[in-house]
Amino acid sequence: MCDTCGCNQPPDAVTYRKPGGHDHPHRHGDLEHAHPHEHPHDHGHPHDHDHQHDHDHPHDHDHGGARRLAVEQDILRRNDLTAERNRGWFEGRGVLALNLVSSPGSGKTSLLERTIRDLRDEIPLAVIEGDQQTLNDAERIAAAGAPVLQINTGFGCHLDADMVRRALAELEVPAGGVLLIENVGNLVCPALFDLGEHAKVVIISVTEGDDKPQKYPAMFAAASLCVINKTDLLPHVDFDVEACKDAARRVNPALAFVELSATRGEGLDGWYRWLRGRRAAAAR
Amino acid sequence: MHEMTLVAGILEIAGERAREAGAARINTVTVEIGRLAGVELSALAFCFETARLGTLAAGAELAVRELPGRGRCPACGAETEIDFYAALCPACGGCLEVVGGRELRVASIDVD
């Protein structure tokens, strides 16, 4: 599987940068060299090789003819295996990892900036930023005071587990802290790609339609928490909070909700309470 | 447009299996896609047409077996077929939990 999708771009089209950092070809060199020990894992297919040996028999018998071979493999197996490795990485360090997903413009970065400013003395935070282009979001996060790595996916529409694995080699994620992964703004594709996170947080702003959960059910079904952002704008827009929640609950009855305004600060307590609770659970 | 990523995964899995078995070429790749997996089948077919070139599956057909969505009612235990996420239990009106329909699997390949 390629790192990205929809574009046939070469793997090195995906870049990993820090604000004020070096040029990315250099970083790619670092990444390659930083993981000589990864290769034994990649080559660790003694199990597969056994199968290959077993299958030599039918091969001999059916030689030359048309035949059907059973496969029964998950298409996303490589992503899912890497996601499990990431999960182990987080578990070993007691890190809570959250995957923040939404459409573009819902206020993900503003929520992160505010969270970092409010919690940085209490909880060690680190951020992975996913965007197709630019270092803009990483610069905002760095200015707010958290270590950050920007992944630019080129034309890719989502982050995948391998991108996060590479980012973890570059980013200092403090043990016992919280890693906030801001996915590419897209309510469709990121739902399918497990990054190894503990939970997906879906963010919807009141300037969007309150029927988003019905229109993009897979994302709301995959999330643990739904943040309804920009509540300060409610008097000016036609957004029914309860209708939105009802629609989301029909897709995912276990979904929790927090209503807040990241820019005005209303309702942030609920978000921080949820974050602290999940962090305590991840540290156990 | 994550369908290209899925197609790359399909071709990788199919190619590995075919090489393991010493096959000369792949004629058909049969995949199972759940109706709730969020896959646009026309986009999948379109991507497959292009991505297969230069692989053992260069002339292969992509056969898609669609698997139905299945929901179970947590209240009354009834199971029913569904084609979208927010379905209600026909027996008691409760919200169904999705228990099937998210599958993304290469089932088999036909080779020479």
- pLDDT score of A58 more than 90: no
- pLDDT score of A32 more than 90: no
Cβ distance B18 to A65 less than 8 Å, yes or no, reads no
Split at pLDDT 50, 70, 90, the class of B97 is confident
Q: For A158-204, what is each residue's pLDDT tens digit?
A: 999 999 999 999 999 999 999 999 999 999 889 999 999 999 999 99
Q: What pLDDT score was predicted for residue B83?
A: 85
Residues of B in contact with A6 (CB under 8 A): 1-5, 47
Residues of A in contact with B101 (CB under 8 A): none
Q: What pLDDT score was predicted for residue A21?
A: 61
- B96 CB near a chain A CB, below 8 Å? no
Q: For B11-50, what is each residue's pLDDT tens digit?
A: 999 999 999 999 999 999 999 999 999 899 999 999 999 9
Q: What pLDDT score was predicted for residue A49?
A: 46
Q: Which among A185, A237, A227, A243 has a CA at the least distance from the CA of A206?
A: A237
Higher pLDDT: A192 or A22? It is A192
Q: What pLDDT score was predicted for residue A11?
A: 63
Q: Please, is B21 exposed, middle or buried when counting C-beta atoms within 10 Å of its C-beta (0-12, 13-18, 19+)?
A: middle
- pLDDT score of A93 more than 60: yes
Cβ distance A72 to B88 less than 8 Å, yes or no, reads no
- B40 CB near a chain A CB, below 8 Å? no
- pLDDT score of A254 more than 80: yes
Residues of A in contact with B99 (CB under 8 A): none
Its ipTM equals 0.89
Q: Per residue in A109-120, is it b (16+ CB within 10 Å) or e — as a string? A: bbbbbbbbebbe
Split at pLDDT 50, 70, 90, the class of A47 is very low
| Mean per-residue pLDDT of chain A | 85
The three-state DSSP-derived secondary structure of B17-64 is HHHHCCCCCEEEEEEEEECCCCCCHHHHHHHHHHHCCCCCCCCCEEEE
Q: What pLDDT score was predicted for residue A22?
A: 52
Whole-number Å distance between alpha carbons of A219 and A229: 17
Nearest-Cα distance to chain B for A45, in Å, is 12
Q: Which among B70, B64, B73, B112 has a CA at the least distance from the CA of B95?
A: B73
